[in-house]
């Protein structure tokens, strides 16, 4: 974890500097990324992404729209293929 600092910038580096360097927190890699995510993104990030997914309208080509739905679904995490198909239609 201590080696990650040189690859970070912005908010990610601020988190690293505060939690790892200043406070000396010891995280597993999974814990580190979970805490980093909570630090960088708002608490309701998944809710915001779900709202975007639920209200998404086709403003692009068919393939671009499908790609956009998949990107949103990836950030939400708890969607199944059938949810993407329903949003697509």
Listed by start position, the domains of the chain span: 2-40, 45-88
Q: Burial, 41: exposed, middle or buried (Cβ in 10 Å; 0-12, 13-18, 19+)?
A: middle
| pLDDT score for 41 | 86
The one-digit pLDDT tens for each residue of the chain (89 residues) are: 788 888 999 999 999 998 888 778 888 989 989 999 889 888 888 889 999 998 888 888 999 999 999 999 998 888 888 888 888 88
| pLDDT score for 46 | 84
| pLDDT score for 43 | 84
Compute the radius of gyration of the chain from its Cα atoms.
17
| pLDDT score for 22 | 78
């Amino acid at each position: 974890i201590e080696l990650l600092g040189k690859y970070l910038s912005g908010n990610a580096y601020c988190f690293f500097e505060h939690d790892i360097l200043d406070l000396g927190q010891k995280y597993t890699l999974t814990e580190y990324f979970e805490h980093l995510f909570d630090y960088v993104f708002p608490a309701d990030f998944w809710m915001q992404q779900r709202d975007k997914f639920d209200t998404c309208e086709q403003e692009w080509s068919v393939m671009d729209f499908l790609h956009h739905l998949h990107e949103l679904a990836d950030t939400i995490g708890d969607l199944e293929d059938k949810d993407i198909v329903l949003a697509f239609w």
